[in-house]
Chain A
Amino acid sequence: MENSTVLTSEQITSDLLPQKFGKRGMIWTGILLLFCAFGAFAYYRQLKYGLVVTNMRDYVSWGIYISNFVFFVAISLVGSLITAIFRLANVPWRTPLTRISEIIAVSAITFAALIIIVDMGRPERLLNLFIHGRLQSPIIWDVIVISTYFCLSLFLLYITLLPDISILINAREKLGKPFSKLYRWLASYWKGTTAQEKIRNRCITIICIVIIPVAFSIHTVTSWLFATTYRPGWDSTNFGAYFISGAFLVGAGGVVVAMYIFRRYYNLEKYITEKHFEKMGRVVVLLALLYLYFNINEYLVPAFKMKKPEEAHLTQLFAGEYAPLFWFAILVGMIIPIFIMLFKKGRKPLPMFIAGVMVVVGAWFKRYLIVTPTLLHPFLPMEDVPASYHHYFPSWEEWAIAMGSLAGVLLIITFFARVFPIISIYKTLTDKNETQQSS
Chain B
Amino acid sequence: MENKSTSRRQFLAAGILAGIAAGCSSKKNPFDKYAGDDVKASGETVKLLSVDGEIIEMDKAFLKPVPDLPTISNSEERKGINGKKFAMVIDLSRCKNVGACKTACNHAHQLSPGQNWIKVLEMQDADHTAPYWQPTTCMHCDSPPCVKVCPVDATFKRQDGIVLIDSDRCIGCRFCMAACPYSTRVFNWGEPVLEKEVAEQHYSCETSIPQKKGTVSKCDFCPDMARKGELPHCVSACPNGVYFFGDMNEDSVTNGAETFRFSDLIKDKAGYRLMEDLGTKPRVYYLPPVNRNFPFESGLENESPEDKMTH
Contacting chain B: which of A134-142, A149-157, A239-247, A331-339? A134-142
Q: Contacts of A231 on B, CB cut-off 8 Å? A: 178, 181
Contact A383 B151, CB 8 Å, known A56-B189, A129-B171? no
Q: Contacts of A52 on B, CB cut-off 8 Å? A: 189-190
Q: Contacts of B252 on A, CB cut-off 8 Å? A: none
Residues from 269 to 311 in B contacting A, C-beta threshold 8 Å: 274-275, 278, 304, 306-307, 309-310
Instruction: Check if A128 sits within 8 Å of B114, measured CB to CB.
Output: no
Contacting chain B: which of A27-35, A222-230, A255-263, A311-319? A222-230
Q: Contacts of B186 on A, CB cut-off 8 Å? A: 58
Chain B's closest residue to A130 (CB) is: B152
Q: How far is the CA of A230 from the CA of B122 in the complex (A)?
A: 22
Over the window 120-140 of chain A, the binary record of Cβ atoms lying under 8 Å from chain B Cβ atoms (1 yes, 0 no) is 111101101101111011111
Over the window 371-402 of chain A, the binary record of Cβ atoms lying under 8 Å from chain B Cβ atoms (1 yes, 0 no) is 00001001111111111001000000000000
Instruction: Check if A384 sits within 8 Å of B307, measured CB to CB.
Output: yes
Cβ of B116 within 8 Å of any chain A Cβ, yes or no, is yes
Main secondary structure of the interface of A (DSSP, over half): loop
Cβ of B169 within 8 Å of any chain A Cβ, yes or no, is yes
Over the window 26-61 of chain A, the binary record of Cβ atoms lying under 8 Å from chain B Cβ atoms (1 yes, 0 no) is 000000000000000000000001111010111101
Residues from 127 to 182 in B contacting A, C-beta threshold 8 Å: 136, 145, 148-154, 169-175, 177-179, 181-182
Q: Contacts of A383 on B, CB cut-off 8 Å? A: 119-122, 307, 310
Residue of B122, B145, B178 most packed against chain A (CB within 10 A): B178
Chain A's closest residue to B212 (CB) is: A122
Q: Contacts of A120 on B, CB cut-off 8 Å? A: 171-173, 214
Contact A375 B310, CB 8 Å, known A49-B191, A384-B116, A384-B304? no
Cβ of A119 within 8 Å of any chain B Cβ, yes or no, is yes
Q: How far is the CA of A381 from the CA of B171 in the complex (A)?
A: 27
Instruction: Check if A385 sits within 8 Å of B171, measured CB to CB.
Output: no
Contact A390 B173, CB 8 Å, known A132-B153, A228-B149? no
Cβ of B123 within 8 Å of any chain A Cβ, yes or no, is yes
Instruction: Check if B173 sits within 8 Å of A119, measured CB to CB.
Output: yes
Cβ of B183 within 8 Å of any chain A Cβ, yes or no, is yes
Chain A's closest residue to B126 (CB) is: A308
Cβ of A322 within 8 Å of any chain B Cβ, yes or no, is no
Kindly identify which residue among A139, A381, A382 contacts B151, using a CB–CB cutoff of 8 Å: A139
- B265, chain A: closest CB distance, angstroms: 24
Chain B's closest residue to A384 (CB) is: B119
Q: How far is the CA of A378 from the CA of B182 in the complex (A)?
A: 8
Chain A's closest residue to B135 (CB) is: A384
Instruction: Check if B213 sits within 8 Å of A50, measured CB to CB.
Output: yes
Instruction: Check if A385 sits within 8 Å of B116, measured CB to CB.
Output: yes
Instruction: Check if A59 sits within 8 Å of B183, measured CB to CB.
Output: yes
Q: Contacts of A179 on B, CB cut-off 8 Å? A: none
Q: How far is the CA of A231 from the CA of B179 in the complex (A)?
A: 8
Instruction: Check if B116 sits within 8 Å of A378, measured CB to CB.
Output: no
- B119, chain A: closest CB distance, angstroms: 4
Instruction: Check if B178 sits within 8 Å of A229, measured CB to CB.
Output: yes
- A13, chain B: closest CB distance, angstroms: 49
Instruction: Check if A61 sits within 8 Å of B178, measured CB to CB.
Output: yes
Instruction: Check if A128 sits within 8 Å of B152, measured CB to CB.
Output: yes
Instruction: Check if A121 sits within 8 Å of B114, measured CB to CB.
Output: no
Cβ of A266 within 8 Å of any chain B Cβ, yes or no, is no
- A142, chain B: closest CB distance, angstroms: 9
Cβ of B31 within 8 Å of any chain A Cβ, yes or no, is no
Cβ of B185 within 8 Å of any chain A Cβ, yes or no, is yes
Instruction: Check if A121 sits within 8 Å of B278, measured CB to CB.
Output: no
Chain A's closest residue to B304 (CB) is: A384
Over the window 254-274 of chain A, the binary record of Cβ atoms lying under 8 Å from chain B Cβ atoms (1 yes, 0 no) is 000000000000000000000
Contact A122 B172, CB 8 Å, known A50-B213, A56-B189, A229-B145? yes
Q: Contacts of B150 on A, CB cut-off 8 Å? A: 134, 137
Q: Contacts of B181 on A, CB cut-off 8 Å? A: 229-231, 378-379
Cβ of A416 within 8 Å of any chain B Cβ, yes or no, is no
Cβ of B260 within 8 Å of any chain A Cβ, yes or no, is no
Cβ of A86 within 8 Å of any chain B Cβ, yes or no, is no
Q: Contacts of A129 on B, CB cut-off 8 Å? A: 151-152, 171
Q: Contacts of B149 on A, CB cut-off 8 Å? A: 137-139, 228-229
Cβ of B236 within 8 Å of any chain A Cβ, yes or no, is no
Instruction: Check if B187 sits within 8 Å of A133, measured CB to CB.
Output: no
Cβ of B102 within 8 Å of any chain A Cβ, yes or no, is yes
Q: Name 29 A/B residue pairs within 8 A (Cβ), A-sorted.
A: A50-B188, A51-B172, A54-B189, A56-B189, A57-B189, A58-B177, A61-B174, A61-B177, A119-B174, A121-B170, A121-B171, A121-B172, A121-B216, A122-B172, A122-B214, A125-B170, A125-B172, A128-B154, A137-B148, A137-B175, A138-B175, A139-B151, A378-B183, A381-B121, A381-B123, A383-B119, A383-B307, A384-B116, A384-B307
Residues of A within 8 A of B (CB): 49-52, 54, 56-59, 61-62, 119-123, 125-126, 128-129, 131-134, 136-140, 143, 225-226, 228-231, 375, 378-387, 390
Beyond A50-B188, A125-B171, 8 additional contacts (C-beta under 8 Å) are A50-B213, A58-B177, A61-B187, A128-B171, A131-B152, A226-B178, A229-B179, A383-B307
Identify the 10 closest CB pairs spanning chains A and B, nearest first. Answer: A121-B172, A121-B214, A52-B190, A139-B151, A384-B119, A137-B151, A132-B152, A52-B189, A61-B177, A378-B183
